[in-house]
């Protein structure tokens, strides 16, 4: 199976996927850590794909999304964005709306706490 097939399969099989450097429990870059931290704090179940473990997947996800940076968040098969976009969406409430629209379970009170802490 090619890297593209692996990426596509992972995105199709999981409601929320974060392609990141490291893992959700051990991020290996600040941007990956920020996005994984937001998802973990909000109680979102997500699959993590450590792009550092496979150079083909690391390049493949950039080609797949036509997005040059990692991390990359996918929700129900839809590319959401990287760290800056996810941070912006979290603070504006757009991420909550996306999760609600897609039927993804999350802790609304935790999301509100993130916004309060960054107000």
Q: Please state the residue numbers annotated as binding site for [2Fe-2S] cluster.
A: 29
**Residue numbers belonging to the annotated binding site:** 29
Structure tokens, 39: 């998802």
* Cα atoms in the Cβ-side hemisphere of radius 13 Å centred on 44: 33
């Amino acid at each position: 199976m090619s890297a593209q097939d692996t990426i596509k399969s992972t995105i199709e099989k999981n409601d929320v996927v974060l392609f990141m450097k490291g893992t959700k429990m051990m991020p290996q870059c600040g941007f990956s850590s920020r996005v994984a931290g937001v998802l973990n704090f909000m109680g979102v179940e997500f699959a993590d794909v450590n792009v550092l473990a496979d150079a083909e997947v690391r390049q493949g996800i950039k080609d797949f999304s036509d997005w040059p940076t990692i991390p990359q968040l996918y929700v129900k098969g839809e590319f959401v964005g990287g760290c800056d976009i996810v941070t912006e969406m979290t603070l504006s409430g757009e991420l909550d709306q996306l999760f609600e629209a897609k039927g993804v379970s999350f802790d609304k009170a935790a999301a509100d706490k993130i916004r309060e802490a960054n107000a």
